[in-house]
Every structure is written in C-alpha cells, then in structure tokens.
Structure 1
Amino acid sequence: LKEKMKEQSWNILFVERGHGVSMFRTKKTRDLVVRGIPEALRGELWLLFSGAVNDMASNPGYYTDLVEKSLGTCTLATDEIERDLRRSLPEHPAFQSDTGISALRRVLTAYAYRNPQIGYCQAMNILTSVLLLYAKEEEAFWLLVAVCERMLPDYFNRRIIGALVDQAVFEELIRVHLPQLTDHMMDMTFFSSVSLSWFLTLFISVLPIESAVNVVDCFFYDGIKAVLQLGLAVLDYNMEKLLTCKDDAEAVTVLNRFFDSVTNKDSPLPPAVQQGSNLSNTKSAHPKVDITDLIREANERYGDIRYEDVESMRCRNRLYVIQTLEATTKQNVLRVVSQDVKFNPSDLEELYELFKKEHFLSCYWNVNSPVLQHHDASLPYLDQYRIDCQQFRVLCHLLSPWSHCANRDSLALWTFRLIDESSACLINFKQFACVLDAMYNGSFTDKLKLLFKLHIPPAFTEVESLSPSKGDDLSKEELIRFSQLSVSSVGESLESASLKSSPEKVGKGKVDIQAYLKQWQDELLKKEENIKDLPRMNQSQFIQFSKTLYNLFHGDPEEELLYRAIAVVTSLLLKMEEVGRRLQGPTSPVESPVAVTEVPAEIPRKGQEESSSEQTEGSRAQTLRGNHEWSFAFEQILASLLNEPAFVRFFDKPHDIKVKIESAKNLQLKARTRM
C-alpha cells in the first residue's frame, strides 16, 4: 500500500513537472527522494538523475560489444572479480543463483575492459550488486560508468585518491559543524578510518540493504553532498555516546550498533533479506532509527552545504592528499632501498628526488610526450616511478664517478641493460641506487666485477654511432635502439629468464601471482654472487674491457703508471692463456700471441700517451682476431690486476657523492638541453 502511495505521488509530480529528461527539480522532488523512491521507479530515476540515460542513448550496442570482447579474457582484474562475486550481497536471493552472479560478472568485467586504468577495485562489486537489483544489466553498466567516472572521480583505483579527498572534506565539515566532537577526538584520522567504507560503498556495507538503497536514492539526486550530510547526521545523532568513548575501538562499536539499529519501515523487501541484515538487532538494546527520518534530519540540519563549497574544499584538500601519498611512497621506497646500499639517508633521499625529477622532466619536456608515461600508481611502491635508458643516461652523466670516461654513453647503455633484468626497458629506483652504490661504495672486487659484467652478455652489445663526427656519443634514437636489442648468443635460457622475471607475460594477458611471489622469495633468499659463476669474457669483449679501463684512467694523476699496468696485465693474461692451451695439447701449433703483443718498456709521456695506448690496443686487437678464440675468466683478470698496486689505489680511491648531487641539482635541466 505504501509503495502504491509513493508511486501515485511521483505520477502526480510527473504530470506537474514533466517526466524524463524534461523533468524539473523542485523542493517537492527532493522531498519525494528523501522519502524513498518506489521500487518500480528506482532504476528509471537513478538513470535520469545520474545522467546515465544520456550515455546509454548515445551509445547503442556499446555494452553488448564490450561483453563480447571481454568474454574469456584473463587478467588481474578478472581474477579479483571472480574472488569477490560470491561476497556481493550474499544474503539477497538475487545473488544466490548463477543468474545474478553471471550478470554481476558481465557488468564488472565489461567495465574493467572499458576502463583498464581503473579495472576493478573492491567495493565496486557491492555497488554494482545494488544497481542490478533495480536496473537492467545494460542500465546497471551505465550507472556504474556514471558513478566511477563522474560522480565519484578517482574513487575506484589503487590509491583511492578521490575517497581520501572527500574524507578530508568530511573532516573539515566536522570541524565546522561539530566542533565539540573534534575537541574530544585528539586524532582526526579516526574519522578517516571509520568513514572510508561510507564513501566507497555509499553506506551499503554498513547499513541494512533496505535502508542503504534510500541513501543511494539521495546520492544519485544530490551527489557526494548527500553522503557528507548523512555522515554528519550519524555523528551528531551519536554525539553523547562518542564523547564518552575512551578510545577509537569503543567509538567504532557505538557506530556499528547504531547502523544495526537503522530500519526502513516502508521497505517491501522480502523478510529473509531483512532478517539476514538485522541479526544483531536482538542482541542490541539500541532504539530503532528509521532511515527516512535520519535522511530528513540530515537535509534539515546540513542542507545549507553548497555544491560550490564542496568543490572548493575538494580542490583545496586534493593537493594535500596527493602530497601525503607521495611522502608515504617516498618513505617506503627509501626504507626498502636503504637495506641494500651504503649511502647515508640524506644522500639516498637526494638521489630519490633527482630520480623522480628526471622522470617528470621526461614526461613534460616534449610537447608530444605522454604525461606520466611510465607512472602507474597501481604498481608497488618501488615500481611507481621508473625511467628508460635515455633518462638513465642523463643521470649517469650527472652522478656516476665514471662519467668522465670517453665512452660514457656506452657504459650507461651497458649498465642499463645489466640492471634491466626483466627486459622491460625500464628500471626502478632500487636498481638505480644499487648500481650507483657499487660504483661509489663497493670494494675493489665489487667495482671490477661490475665492469666485467658490463662487458659480457646480456649487458654488452657492440655499439657504434651512426654519426662518426660524434665519436663515442650516441643519439637518443641509437641509445633506445641498442637498449632494446636482445642477446642472441644467450638463446632460450635468456628468454626463459625474461619470462620468469616478468610474470605478466605468462599466458594470455594473465598476471601470474605465483610467479611474482616466487620472484620475491628468490630475491629474499638470493646469496652473494659467486665469482666462479660468471661466464668467461671472449676476445672482442676483453678488447672493449681494456679500452674502457684506458678511458677510465685518463686524467688520473697516476695515468702513466696505470697505462703501463694495463699493458703488463694484458700480456700476462695472454701468456696464461697460451700456457693453458699448450697444456691441453693443441692439435696444431698456434703462433704465440705473446711476442706480438709485447708492449714497449717505456710508454711515451704526456703528449704521446693516448696515441701509444691506441696503437698498443690496436695491435693487441689484431693479434687476438688473428688467432683462435681466446677467453678469460673473471678470477684470472682479478688476480692479475691485484698484482698492480696502481689499479688497487685507483679503484679504492673514495668518491664523494655529495659533490655530484649538488652539481646534478644545478645541471639537470641543462643536461637535458644538451641531450
């Protein structure tokens, strides 16, 4: 009878004020919404008030196409959807059968396919379940679009920025309208923690379903203002009890008992549904509160809150929320990375700021560059900011202690390829900090091992600029192309390793969670790398390794001594290889390379040093290419270099990264201009 009376009141309004998109919104319309929309008209009016009716009319057949395209897809979003399907209003008969569950699956999967940036977020299943109770499947989809993309912007993502912003607005309104409550609560974060589900689910998760739908009525009519007003009314109603609470847990208990006592005397829902949502009523002595009276009181007391004021507070609090989230990300990243490096906390923080700044400079530097191209807030903290090879080169030139090297572009490229273990052409801050830590704080063996690994696959690749006039410098296009080259000599083992380190490549777009967990476990259990496990270095790689050492030593006070040491070590290594080959019983006599590669006893000084080193290197290269394939183990190179004190002094020489950091702050923009 009450439902028929409500329907009659709405029919009279339609005659007086119009029906459909031509209907005027008046005080009488608001009063009828506060009383609760009739079951028969609820879906139609939700579509009208939200504007979803226009979206659906403008895109005929769109939902059907989405369902067909998304059918059978397997992603992280679809896995999460499957997990939550049975948790969506389990007490309601509509979702106790495969019909309701299948409709819910199709709507959520279609939306995840439409908007992969949001995909699926918890609370979307609860909201969509209620939408499906009163709207057809396609209508429910367009209502979900209206909620996620217009009415509650930025709510349904990994960082729920929109919900956090509105919680900050809610706290601001509490200070204005309920000052005695804020004086009692020492920590305002209590309101944020307790009200998060109110905003994300529009009170559906805390109120009985027959009462929650009335809140949804007001939300589609008034937007977020209705949720804010109701939240204030709930706190005001429980003011006396909240003021006597001694801790947050007691306050949460008070609010939960209150929500359990909220009823809807006009609800036509089946008794079984109401019984499932009011089990605790028999245990609670809290007086019954009618949802219609509560909403009416919220409108009367706090109806003066204007949309303009809410939007103004949203803009004012949004920057604060984002800054807080960025600070949290920074703290978590620095905490994790600090366990693996020897940089002091202040230097590590400065490096993080430079890394992050380089990311943003690259995003905004070019007009056509997609903003925040490599930034994904849904990723773990470490991977939220990543840089490519070009950005890494800029930072290497500014911060590396080896940036004076003539082939510094090649070194930057090989270093990037070495630390980009997943072959994603992107690295995170931890990878960047760890390789920089090896250059600055590593032992003699660590630094030499890093140089050795830079000159063997998968890091090493033959690099030659297309513009001879540039010498060893590489253009941006060349750098990106070389960084994406795969190492053919490694073969299938590298491919399988790449798949292992990049779980998202497994299957048809499926993210393998188990692979991620296995990768994380391997990192935790990873032992220090044994130098015996390093592959041997072949001729061409050893030649380039020697050239890199020559370039590193240029300009050092002991430059002449270091050049001589290189010649001595090179000759010694070749003699060792020749002896090894003879002991193995070669089938044919091989001309000894030692006689050809003997270096002069005296290396010319100053003006002739570079030319002499180049001639020596060239003759050595010709000798190696002219003979059978030679290779050297890292242990051989390490033992030989340890015999030369000049080498040990050079690599043990301390470098102050603070100087580099201060210089980088001033030169970061100029460096990009030069690039």
Structure 2
Amino acid sequence: MSTIAHSLRDYREPTKVQQAVFSFGLPSEEIPQDEIPSVLSISNPPSGGASEAVDQAEQEDQVYAGKLILSHSFLCFISLDRRSCKMTLPLYCIRRVERLNTSRSGVFALAIVVWHGMRVILQLNALRPQCESFCALLRDNLRGQLSQMKTLKAFVAGCYSEVLLQEAINDKTAGNSTGKDASEKQGEASTPGEKDQEDLIDALPPQPDYHAGLGARFKYPGDPRKLREKSKMKLWKDYLRVHGRNLTLVRYPQFLRLVQVGLPNRLRGEIWELTSGSMYMRFANQGVYESILKANEGKVSTSTEEIEKDLNRSLPEYAGYQTQEGIATLRRVLTAYSWKNPELGYCQAMNIVVAAILIYMSEEQCFWLLDMLCDRLVPGYYTQSMSGTILDQKVFEHLVQRSLPMIHDHFVETDIQLSVASLPWFLSLYINSMPMVFAFRIVDCFMAMGPKVLFQVGLAILKINGEELLSGTITDDGAFINMIKKYFATLGDSAHPNSSNPRHRQITNFQELLVVAFREFGVVTDDTIASERRRFRQEIVEEIELFAKRSAVRNLKTLGRFTKEQVGLIYDQMVEAIYRTRHAPSSLVERDGTAIDGHGKAPASPAVIAGGAQDYKEMRIDMPTFTYFLAEIATWARDEFTISNGFTERFERKIPENSDMSRRLFHFWDREQRGSLSLQDIVSGLDTIIFSRGEPDSAIEWFFKLHSRGKDALTKDEVLRLSESLLFMFRNENSDGHLGAVSQLITSSFGGSGSV
C-alpha cells in the first residue's frame, strides 16, 4: 500500500461538456457540437395484428419535449425532466433522414429512419436558420460515418435482441408462437449428475452464435419459473419491437420500470452494456480485446501473479467456475484489462465483479464494461488505495446521519463501524453479500440509474432493520454483521407472512427493499452524491496519503541511521516530486531529449521488472522526477535567482538542464538497474552521504565510487568528468577557493600516467 492517491489529488470536477458525455454514456472523445430544443416521438407502422395496432396507438401518445444534442458520432435526446425519455443514437445506425412536410407553417420536423426501419420523429423548436445549421452539421457528420456503417451488420448480429426479435417473426410465420425457443432451452439446460468434468462439459449446450455469458452453458442463477423468465421476455420483446433494440434503443418511462422488475437472463448482458455505454466503446474498438491478449501472450507481471491467486476464489459456488473453461475465461478478461490499464492493473474484489458479469456477458462485452466501471461508474473503487470506495463510505455514513439519525446515534454510542458491513456492499456491488439472484437485480438498477442506487439500497437495508438495530441486542460489529447476514438470507421470504391479504403475503423482503430504496430514498440523487463527494474528497486524500506514508516507512527493510520522522520527510519530498512532475510544463524535456508527456504531465514512475513489464504497485520515481526531488533537498541541484518588477521581489528556483551529476547519482543508487528508484534506494543512498559529514576520507571514497563505475582507478577522461561534477556542485559559491582545488586535482592527476 505504498502508492499515493494522485487520482484523488488530481481530480477535477467534470465540465458541463463532460457531464453531458457521461450522462449519455458516450465515449470520452465525443464532444457535443450543437444542441437545439426539440420534441421526440416514435413512429413504427404495425406489421399486422390488433395488439400491434393498440401498441401503435399508445406509442403515438408518447411525445416528449426536450433537448437534442449532436456530437461527431451520436445524436442524443433528453426530455425536459431528464427522466422520462432518453435516446443515444449512433449516427452509423441512421439510414435515411427526411424533412417532413407538416400542415402547420413554421414547423421544422425530421424523420430519422434507422437501419431496422424504426422512424424517430424530431420536431425542432427553434428559428429556421438555427434549424438549417443543425441539419447541415448533421448531414456532414453522417457522411463521416460511412465507414462505420459497413461494420454495423456484423456487430448487431451478435446481439441477443436481434435473435429474440427474429425468433418472434419466425414463430409467427410458422404458427409456432407457443414453442420454446432454442436459446431458452440452452439457458435452462440441466446437467447430468454422475459424470466427470469432461463428460459434463460435453453434455452442456454449445455456446450460442450471439454474445452470451457462461450462463448459456452452465445455467443462470435462480429458478426460471420463480423468476418469471417467460413473462419478462415477452414484455421486453414487445418493448424492443416498438422502441428499437441494442444500439438504437430509446428509453421511455416503461424502460426503467422493466429494469426494476428484473432483466431476463439472456437479455441482461446486452442491457447492461447499453445502459452503461460500454456497447459504444465495444463498437468503436472492435478487435482490440483480442489484439491485447495476443500482444501480451505469455507475459508476466505483478498483476497477473495476483490474478492467478484469486481465480479459484471467484464465485466458486457457481458451476461455471468449477471448470477450467470458466476459470480460463475469467483469467483472460482480468489479464487483458491489467495490460490495457497497467497503472491500475488488478485489485482484489475486481475478480468477484468480473466473475459475476461473465455469467451474462461474453469476454469482450465484459472487458469493455469493466473498463467503463473503473473509469466512469465507480472510479477509484478498484485501485491499490481504494480511494473511491473509502470516499463513498464517508458519503454513505453522512447520508445515514442525515436520513436515519437514530440509527447513526446508535452506531456512535455502541462504537459499531458501519463500514465493516457497507464497504463489501459497495465494493462488490452487493454481489458478494446477497444471494446472486437478488444482487443481479440491484446491478440491473445500478447500470441503468447510476451509483446512487448503491446508496439508496444501503439506506433501505438499515431502515428496514432499524427496529432490530435499536432493540438493544446489536451492540458490536459482530452482532451487526450477523443481523445483516440473516436478513440477506431471507430476501426471498414473504415480507408479510401473517397478512390476511394474499397479495400482501406474496410480497417478498427483496421487493420491499426496492420499494423502500426508490420511494423513501429517491431524494438521494446524482447531484446529492456529487455534492457529498466534493465535501469529503480532500479529507479522504489526506487520510489515504497519511496511511500510505506510514505503510511505506513501516515496510522498509532498513532505515539506516535515519529516524522514522526523518524518513517520513524524505517520503513527503518524493510525493511532492511525483506530483510536480505530473504537472510539469509540456516544454520540460528529459535528459535524452524526448518530451515527458504531450499532455503536460510526466509519465507514471513505474518499476521495470523482468521481461520489460512495469510494476505500478510500488511507489518509484524515474529520472525526471528524481531531478525535482534532488532540487528540493540539495542546494547544488537547483539555481536560485531573484525576479524584480521595480515594486516587489520574489525568489524562484530552476532545475539545471543536462546535469551529469544528477544522472550519475540516479544510476549509482539504482543498484538493481530497474530504471527507477524506490524509497528504500533513496534512504540508503542518502544515509551514506549525510552521515559521512565530518569524515573527509569517506566522502572522497564515495565521490570516487560515483565516477569509477566499480573500477579501482579513474582514467584521465573520468578525472575530467569528476572535476566537472565538482565545479557544477560549487558553481553558486561566492568564493573562488574551489577553483584552485579542482585545478590542483587535475594537475596532479595528469602529472602521472595512465590512470589515477
């Protein structure tokens, strides 16, 4: 835990542009180019049947006013209340745009036809010049997406929604609408009990052609009948037929209601990646996942070693992870992400979340969803410092204090640590705490509604169990955890078993939990969470950095002749040097002449390990960072000068360029030749220098070793370089005494022959 929380320290509030990009789940490189007030409706001519005609009549009444936003690759819509209607439409899905001839003068309306025939009607509510300008930009952006349109057909063929709707058409054509589809048989296949593992795998259904998770072969958690899979699938089939599917899905109010009821197993993975935005990332980066695996095949890093340790501890109760096929799938996803994001690499609890996602998603789908989770949905959760999780625990505790004051006071009086129970809830998205069938229902809502769901459900758990918490029997952490475990074990039981009303008896504890979470704690919004995070962020930064400092000092093999307090000061200077290097001007140049970073930041300071891989788990500094560090602790490593404007004076420091002395010192302390220095390297190096003061012979011997590179004597060229180092170190001295000493050294050295 020797890394520092630069991700939190460097955090900047998202701009309005970034907030818009995040809210629609767009890739980070997308930038809104124009926006215009508009009204949206969907027009799908019924293909036949009374029920479809009714659906069409209902659909025509669902018209929403809002704002239309155009970026380079997407056309987005959000209703005025920001809840009722939402659309993220990739431009490469559009096949035709028509200007409608309306009966009312002054009305500017467009009909957008997507690739599968759905028509989205957009009425632009602005002055005609603004409408014309918006349409011209839309036309130009559509032309820029022609190359992407060519890959669309193959991409959507792997989406289950396409298979589902095609099966519905085939069943209707064949008059076999009551038959069970093949994919449902796959998901509900039972496995023989008295076979070895190889025979068991052979007996399982084959992997379907569309993107599917391990559940398609090893069964999905839960009983399909109790989960009402058929009913849910029928509702979703009707919704997808009218409101679009996969990349073109438009979210109307019934979309969120269907999500809260619970997603069908075979459709769950697709809806997750759609609502999170990872589907757009997967489309834009087709083939990247496979190329990462291929490029890093056989390589080993600290992250891959940690992954191997946790593979067999990842949902071992699930049948898929009792086979080598499931373990290999999990290994590939975790390993690929550790290579894609080496600075984050791998963190414990990531294996639990990924193992759960892989039940419903293919490897590639899971890879991009994991990227979206770590980067956007729960940033800082799966890092060495767990900074995001710790911050959200602070936010959650404050929400408990504000919303449930009596329970909060009880925790304070009994010294119960709320985080002992709530931290695993957040870190595993409740997957490792609740039975999986219920945890996935929460994940459904989390993907569709955002991180606020984690807080709302947590508050609801405490409120429902509030009476028992305040009964006087829960007085320590152990009793609190046992109470929560018992509650989670009864989530499938009736919430009102003694009620005379049969409908009330059918309400389960889990259904009651969701009702309390979304109705009573609906006031906890995204803005609430963002505000609370801003409030506690700096406090968490200081706590994490203090803990990291103590851990780094405690883990040193030796302190030399330094005290712990002195080593702590050295650590602080390393942290400051790393921070300053990350924010150095883009004009700063490394010693070899290459720019540090095109974004004005130095690269992270990794340790190079065997095979050329990088280890980001230990705080280490590279050469540019070392020059900053050295300038803070040694006067010879910096130039100081005064700047005056006639009224005021200020002192400034500048780091000399091309310092051979600094480079020699860096490589001399880098005894393992890893290209970077650890805290231990610097402490040991400084110990030799600082505690040799007053001992001229020791200082001379050290300076000789610095320039001799392990040899017993110096050549004349090396003597000249040693002299240059001395002149560089004493360049700011007022007297000229050092010049005579250096001159005498050169004369006496060159007076002999060969080497010194």
TM-score range, shorter chain: 0.5 to 0.7
Q: Which residue of 1 aligns with 2:229?
A: 3
Find 1:367's aligned residue among 586, 590, 593: 586
Q: Which residue of 1 aligns with 2:359?
A: 133
Alignment partners' CA distance in 2, 1:181 and 1:311: 24
Q: Which residue of 2 aligns with 1:590?
A: none
- Residue 422 of structure 1 aligns to a residue whose secondary structure is coil
Alignment partners' CA distance in 2, 1:141 and 1:611: 63
Find 1:104's aligned residue among 330, 344, 348: 330
Alignment partners' CA distance in 2, 1:554 and 1:75: 44
**Alignment partner of 1:222 is 2:431:** no
Contact 2:380/2:388 (<8 A) preserved: yes
Q: Which residue of 2 aligns with 1:196?
A: 423
Deviation at 1:108, TM superposition (A): 2.2
Alignment partners' CA distance in 1, 2:374 and 2:629: 37
Deviation at 1:192, TM superposition (A): 2.5
> Is there any run of 5+ residues in structure 1 with no aligned partner, and where?
266-287, 462-486, 491-534, 556-605, 631-675
Q: Which residue of 2 aligns with 1:578?
A: none
Deviation at 1:189, TM superposition (A): 8.3
Contact 1:33/1:217 (<8 A) preserved: yes
Q: How does 1:458-497 map to 2 (within 5 A)?
A: 459-460=706-707, 487=709
Q: Which residue of 2 aligns with 1:182?
A: 408
Deviation at 1:345, TM superposition (A): 6.2
Deviation at 1:341, TM superposition (A): 4.8
**Alignment partner of 1:79 is 2:305:** yes
Q: How does 1:345-424 map to 2 (within 5 A)?
A: 349-368=568-587, 369-370=596-597, 371=601, 373-375=603-605, 379=616, 383=620, 388=625, 390-391=627-628, 393-395=630-632, 397-398=634-635, 412-424=662-674
Alignment partners' CA distance in 2, 1:395 and 1:154: 30
Cα distance, 1:189–1:317 mapped onto 2, change above 3 Å = farther
**Alignment partner of 1:426 is 2:676:** yes
Q: Which residue of 1 aligns with 2:438?
A: 211
Contact 1:359/1:386 (<8 A) preserved: no
Q: How does 1:257-268 map to 2 (within 5 A)?
A: 257-263=486-492
Q: Which residue of 2 aligns with 1:329?
A: 548
Q: Number of aligned residue pairs: give it.
A: 476
Deviation at 1:613, TM superposition (A): 5.5
Alignment partners' CA distance in 2, 1:545 and 1:44: 65
Alignment partners' CA distance in 1, 2:631 and 2:520: 59
The structure with the greater share of residues assigned to strand is: 2
Deviation at 1:390, TM superposition (A): 3.0
One-letter code of the match for 1:191? L
Deviates more, 1:215-224 or 1:427-436: 427-436
**Alignment partner of 1:122 is 2:348:** yes
Cα distance, 1:610–1:362 mapped onto 2, change above 3 Å = closer
Cα distance, 1:24–1:433 mapped onto 2, change above 3 Å = same
One-letter code of the match for 1:178? L
Deviation at 1:302, TM superposition (A): 0.9
Find 1:452's aligned residue among 661, 686, 701: 701
The C-alpha deviation readout for 1:206-233, integer Å capped at 9, x for no partner, is: 1112222212111111121111111111
One-letter code of the match for 1:239? G
One-letter code of the match for 1:625? S
Contact 2:582/2:603 (<8 A) preserved: yes
Q: Which residue of 2 aligns with 1:319?
A: 538
Deviation at 1:409, TM superposition (A): 6.4
Contact 1:170/1:228 (<8 A) preserved: yes
Q: Which residue of 1 aligns with 2:519?
A: 300
Alignment partners' CA distance in 2, 1:610 and 1:95: 72
One-letter code of the match for 1:217? D
Contact 1:218/1:226 (<8 A) preserved: yes
Deviation at 1:41, TM superposition (A): 2.3
Q: How does 1:595-610 map to 2 (within 5 A)?
A: none
Contact 1:171/1:188 (<8 A) preserved: no
Q: Which residue of 1 aligns with 2:124?
A: none
Alignment partners' CA distance in 1, 2:449 and 2:463: 21
> Is there any run of 5+ residues in structure 2 with no aligned partner, and where?
1-224, 495-506, 588-595, 608-614, 641-657
Deviation at 1:375, TM superposition (A): 4.5
Deviation at 1:48, TM superposition (A): 2.1
Alignment partners' CA distance in 2, 1:207 and 1:611: 76
Cα distance, 1:8–1:247 mapped onto 2, change above 3 Å = same
Find 1:43's aligned residue among 260, 269, 277: 269
Q: Which residue of 1 aligns with 2:503?
A: none
One-letter code of the match for 2:371? V
One-letter code of the match for 1:298? A
Cα distance, 1:10–1:451 mapped onto 2, change above 3 Å = same
Cα distance, 1:109–1:336 mapped onto 2, change above 3 Å = closer
Deviation at 1:618, TM superposition (A): 5.0
Cα distance, 1:163–1:96 mapped onto 2, change above 3 Å = same
- Residue 56 of structure 1 aligns to a residue whose secondary structure is helix
Cα distance, 1:57–1:188 mapped onto 2, change above 3 Å = farther
Alignment partners' CA distance in 1, 2:738 and 2:290: 71
When the two structures are superposed, what TM-score results if normalisation uses the length of structure 1?
A: 0.61
Alignment partners' CA distance in 2, 1:143 and 1:612: 68
The C-alpha deviation readout for 1:421-441, integer Å capped at 9, x for no partner, is: 123443344443444444444
Deviates more, 1:54-63 or 1:348-357: 348-357
Find 1:255's aligned residue among 459, 475, 484: 484
Alignment partners' CA distance in 2, 1:148 and 1:237: 31
Alignment partners' CA distance in 2, 1:253 and 1:33: 30
Contact 1:389/1:413 (<8 A) preserved: no
- Residue 190 of structure 1 aligns to a residue whose secondary structure is coil
- Residue 262 of structure 1 aligns to a residue whose secondary structure is coil
Cα distance, 1:399–1:40 mapped onto 2, change above 3 Å = same
Alignment partners' CA distance in 2, 1:220 and 1:549: 60
Cα distance, 1:25–1:338 mapped onto 2, change above 3 Å = same
One-letter code of the match for 1:223? G
One-letter code of the match for 1:46? W
The CA RMSD measured in Å over matched residues stands at: 4.0
The C-alpha deviation readout for 1:563-607, integer Å capped at 9, x for no partner, is: xxxxxxxxxxxxxxxxxxxxxxxxxxxxxxxxxxxxxxxxxxx99
Cα distance, 1:625–1:396 mapped onto 2, change above 3 Å = farther
- Residue 358 of structure 2 aligns to a residue whose secondary structure is helix
The C-alpha deviation readout for 1:355-402, integer Å capped at 9, x for no partner, is: 4333433332322543253446985666379865533552454289xx
Alignment partners' CA distance in 2, 1:96 and 1:392: 50
Structure exhibiting the larger radius of gyration computed from Cα positions: 1
One-letter code of the match for 1:68? K
Deviates more, 1:92-101 or 1:436-445: 436-445
Q: Which residue of 2 aligns with 1:507?
A: none
Contact 1:131/1:140 (<8 A) preserved: yes
Find 1:173's aligned residue among 363, 380, 399: 399
Alignment partners' CA distance in 2, 1:20 and 1:91: 31
Deviation at 1:87, TM superposition (A): 2.0
